[in-house]
Amino acid sequence: MAESSTAKIDYLSALTAGLWKENPTFRLLIGMCPPLAVTTAVKPALTMGLCVIFVLVCSNVAISLMRNLLKPHLRIIMFTLSIAAFVTIADLYLRAFSPKMSEALGAYVPLIIVNCIIIFRAEACASKCNVWVSILDGIGSGTGFTLALCVLAGIREILAAGTFFDYRVMPKAFVPWAAMQMPVGAFVTLGLLLGLATLITTKRAD
Amino acid sequence: MDNMYVLMMGFLSVVIVNNFVFTKFLGTCPYLGVSGRLDTAFGMGLAVTFVTALSGILTWLVDYYILVPNGLEITRYVCYILIIAGAVQLVEMYVRKFFPALYRTFGIFLPLISTNCVILGICLFINIWAIDNLAEVAVLSTGVGIGFTLAICIMAAIRENLALVDVPESLKGAPITLITAGLLTMAFMGFAGMIK
């Protein structure tokens, strides 16, 4: 509820923090299940990311509005219940308008409910800040998460199938790496990307 | 006899061949986060096993006898979350009363079990696999918990040794853990296709 002269900077930092400095996947290492599970191709990864942005923004708004009514010991359950409601909306929407994608993502859409990112943002930001900051924070963190998902999915899709967003980018002679499609590819690629992220931050700090 | 065979195969399938951590990436957060010590990992695994078994059975019962006959499938996720949160609360009270030492070791991680993907995962997959008898539900949900325990115990044992190894500076911590997990997954891939 920063209504001082620094309010403008607060809004800006709420939006941009999630992109790199507090990027959920690369910097905070939370919500690691979808980055590993749905990144075999860019399309499902992007859909997943958009679902998470929607749920994150909606739940941040709802929690920010009721933040003064929350009792400490009932906090977490109220968070998860409101998240579950919005995930149901996203799931039904996806099932109605994009049944193929809904089938491809399967149980991972309802599993957004237990994605740590959303509860973490609710706890760290929405339960303390006003609605506008919470919305910006939701958009920022959600976008950071989506970008991380797409980078990982891009690498895996190019190496596993030679395509990017279903368009062929590699020459015909390219031999696909089958391992990239499997769980092994997910773990190792994410591990190396995290290493790269750590390298960049330490280089910057020097 | 035939029934027994199906149950046993289902159990082996979720523990080894289709281990949730290795093939479906569920529960990777605690798998990478808290599995620094073997004894804590084992206790954590047991707590999760108990909650998966309890909530798997309860959600199936609620789904089968209340939600579906009344056409309330739309509230499914909200109900699942409520049941899981209740089961976790029960375990928390039990552990605090009877194992105070273990309770202190877990700290914040115990209430966070309710946001463990393995638990909601098994409730959802039981629904997706359309399993229609209670014995199978019980066996599968216990099996998933045991599979999770197996995974985090292996990982904890490896990480205890990893602490002594000379790892490149930027790969220390989470990155090397993920790469190790990748190699471990590859080992478990050897079982793929044996059942189902």
Could you give the ipTM of this predicted complex?
0.83
Question: Are residues B153 and B39 in contact, defined by beta-carbon separation less than 8 angstroms?
Answer: no
Shortest distance, CA A188 to any CA of chain B (angstroms): 5
Q: Among the listed ranges A3-7, A145-149, B88-92, which one has the minimum average pLDDT value?
A: A3-7
The confidence score (pLDDT) of residue A177 equals 83
Chain B neighbors of A182, CB-CB under 8 A: 185, 189
Question: Are residues B60 and B134 in contact, defined by beta-carbon separation less than 8 angstroms?
Answer: yes
Query: Taking all residues of chain A, what is their mean pLDDT, rounded to a whole number?
Result: 85
Task: Say whether pLDDT at A9 is over 70.
Answer: no
The confidence score (pLDDT) of residue B108 equals 66
Whether the CB of A89 is below 8 Å from some CB of chain B: the reply is: no
The confidence score (pLDDT) of residue B109 equals 67
Shortest distance, CA A9 to any CA of chain B (angstroms): 32
The confidence score (pLDDT) of residue A1 equals 41
**What is the C-alpha separation between A14 and A138, in angstroms, rounded?**
9
Shortest distance, CA A129 to any CA of chain B (angstroms): 23
The confidence score (pLDDT) of residue B32 equals 75
- The residue among B1 and A27 whose pLDDT is bigger is A27
Task: Say whether pLDDT at A15 is over 50.
Answer: yes
- The residue among B89 and A88 whose pLDDT is bigger is A88
Whether the CB of B51 is below 8 Å from some CB of chain A: the reply is: no
* A183 with B23: Cβ contact below 8 A: yes
* B175 with A198: Cβ contact below 8 A: yes
**What is the C-alpha separation between B181 and B15, in angstroms, rounded?**
17
The confidence score (pLDDT) of residue A150 equals 92
- 3-state SS, one letter per residue, for chain B: CHHHHHHHHHHHHHHHHCCHHHHCCCCHHHHHHCCCCHHHHHHHHHHHHHHHHHHHHHHHHHHHHHHCCCCCHHHHHHHHHHHHHHHHHHHHHHHHHHCHHHHHHHHHHCHHHHHCHHHHHHHHHHHHCCCCCHHHHHHHHHHHHHHHHHHHHHHHHHHHHHCCCCCCHHHCCHHHHHHHHHHHHHHHHCCCCCCC
The confidence score (pLDDT) of residue A54 equals 95
Q: What is the token pair recorded at A18?
A: 């999630």
* Gyration radius of chain B's alpha carbons: 18
CA closest to A197 among chain B residues = B170
Query: Taking all residues of chain B, what is their mean pLDDT, rounded to a whole number?
Result: 85
Task: Say whether pLDDT at A8 is over 70.
Answer: no
**What is the C-alpha separation between A145 and A193, in angstroms, rounded?**
14
Confidence of residue A7 (pLDDT cuts 50, 70, 90): low
Exposure string (b/e) for A120-131, b if CB count within 10 Å is 16 or more?
Answer: bbbeebbbebbe
Q: What would the mean pLDDT of A6-23 be, rounded to a whole number?
A: 75
Q: Among the listed ranges A13-17, B7-11, B140-144, B159-163, which one has the minimum average pLDDT value?
A: A13-17
Confidence of residue A5 (pLDDT cuts 50, 70, 90): very low
| pTM score | 0.87
For residue A167, the cross-strand partners are A164
* A76 with B171: Cβ contact below 8 A: no
Q: Among the listed ranges A9-23, A63-77, B42-56, which one has the minimum average pLDDT value?
A: A9-23
* Gyration radius of chain A's alpha carbons: 18
Q: What would the mean pLDDT of B18-24 be, rounded to a whole number?
A: 85
Q: Chain A, 135-164: which have a CB under 8 Å from a chain B CB? A: none
Chain B neighbors of A119, CB-CB under 8 A: 115
Shortest distance, CA B114 to any CA of chain A (angstroms): 8
Give me the residue spans of the domains in chain A: 14-153
Using one digit for the tens of pLDDT, what is the confidence trace for A76-102? 788 888 999 999 999 999 999 999 998
Query: Which of B82, B122, B170, B180 has the highest number of chain A CBs within 10 A, making it the mutation to test binding with A?
Result: B170
Whether the CB of A74 is below 8 Å from some CB of chain B: the reply is: no
The confidence score (pLDDT) of residue B139 equals 92
Task: Say whether pLDDT at A35 is over 70.
Answer: yes
For residue A168, the cross-strand partners are A163
Reduced to 3 states, what is the DSSP secondary structure of residue A46?
A: helix
**What is the C-alpha separation between B179 and B25, in angstroms, rounded?**
14
Cα A129 to chain centroid, rounded:
21
The confidence score (pLDDT) of residue A93 equals 94
The confidence score (pLDDT) of residue A153 equals 92
Chain B neighbors of A93, CB-CB under 8 A: none
Using one digit for the tens of pLDDT, what is the confidence trace for A158-178? 888 888 887 888 887 788 888
* Residue A10 host element (H or E): helix A7-16
**What is the C-alpha separation between A91 and A9, in angstroms, rounded?**
35
Task: Say whether pLDDT at B171 is over 60.
Answer: yes
Task: Say whether pLDDT at A3 is over 60.
Answer: no
Task: Say whether pLDDT at B104 is over 60.
Answer: yes
Q: What is the token pair recorded at A146?
A: 């989506």
The confidence score (pLDDT) of residue B148 equals 92
Q: What would the mean pLDDT of A60-71 be, rounded to a whole number?
A: 89
Give me the residue spans of the domains in chain B: 33-175
Query: Which of B117, B159, B183, B191 has the highest number of chain A CBs within 10 A, making it the mutation to test binding with A?
Result: B117
Question: Are residues A82 and A139 in contact, defined by beta-carbon separation less than 8 angstroms?
Answer: no
Sequence-ordered alpha helix ranges (H) in A66-164: 75-97, 99-105, 116-121, 131-161
Residue positions counted in chain B? 196
Q: What whole-number percentage of chain B has pLDDT above 90?
A: 17
* A76 with B111: Cβ contact below 8 A: yes
* A195 with B171: Cβ contact below 8 A: yes
Chain B neighbors of A81, CB-CB under 8 A: 78, 81-82
Chain B neighbors of A114, CB-CB under 8 A: 114-117, 119-120
Using one digit for the tens of pLDDT, what is the confidence trace for A99-124? 999 888 888 899 888 888 888 888 88
- Residue keyed to tokens 């015909």: A172
Residue positions counted in chain A? 206
Cβ of A132: how many Cβ atoms within 10 Å? 14
